[in-house]
Amino acid sequence: MQILVLGLVIFLGVHSIAIVAPATRDRLAARMGDGPWKGLYSLVSLAGFILIIHGFGLARQQPIVLYTPPDWLRGVALLLMLPVFPLLIAAYLPGRIRAAVKHPLLAATKAWALAHLLANGMLADVVLFGSLLVWAVADRISLKQRAPRPVPVLPAKPANDAIAVIGGLVLYALFVYWAHAALFGVSPLAWTTP
């Protein structure tokens, strides 16, 4: 569990600089230069992400059950996951979805984390998904109070919303029916039914 927590501290810590100290983030980026800052930010994020994956895998080997969700919550989790991939794609494709949601990547993170909290009751699950949910909510609140920063996106095209929805639903189906089990050893469809 310590490796998972360390990974979350590193990953969410670097992603929280703009939340808790935006002026410090801007000073560091200005002093280092845009390229070196983004390089360092990416390396630290990657190190945290690797520790999260490794730590979560280790924690799953010695599960501590906090709660056992009822089977029907797994169905709710599958429904909550439905918009996640379209929102992820829409975050980088200017269109009506991105304009309406404003921060589709954070919305996707919140839906993903909540869905996983509903379907999983192990301590490692609560630590991982709960941390990411709290962070996404805090980041969304802080975005209302800080100046918007330009995010690189593809050019605006009328078809971007269709690409986001169709591509996202294809990714959703791929994850539900194959990739989740292949990557994480757990099928989202494997639950008992009455």
Q: What is the pLDDT of residue 191?
A: 64
Q: What is the pLDDT of residue 24?
A: 86
| CA 7/CA 20 separation, integer angstroms | 19
Q: What is the pLDDT of residue 119?
A: 93
Q: What are the pLDDT tens digits along the chain (194 aa)?
A: 999 999 999 999 999 988 888 888 888 888 988 889 889 999 999 999 999 999 999 999 999 999 999 989 999 999 999 999 999 999 988 899 988 998 999 999 999 999 999 999 999 999 999 999 999 999 999 888 877 777 666 777 889 999 999 999 999 999 999 999 888 888 888 864 44
Query: Three-state DSSP class for 122?
Result: strand
Distance of CA 39 to the CA centre of its chain: 20
Q: What is the pLDDT of residue 193?
A: 44
- One-letter identity of residue 167: G
Q: What is the pLDDT of residue 189?
A: 85
Q: What is the pLDDT of residue 113?
A: 97
Q: Please tell me the total number of residues recorded for the chain in this structure.
A: 194
Tell me the pTM.
0.87
Nearest-CA neighbor of 40 among 19, 66, 10, 85? 10
DSSP character string of 54-118: HHHHHHHHS--BS----HHHHHHHHHHHTTHHHHHHHTTS-SHHHHHHS-HHHHHHHHHHHHHHH
**Phi-psi label, residue 33: left if phi above 0, alpha if psi -120 to 50, beta otherwise:** left
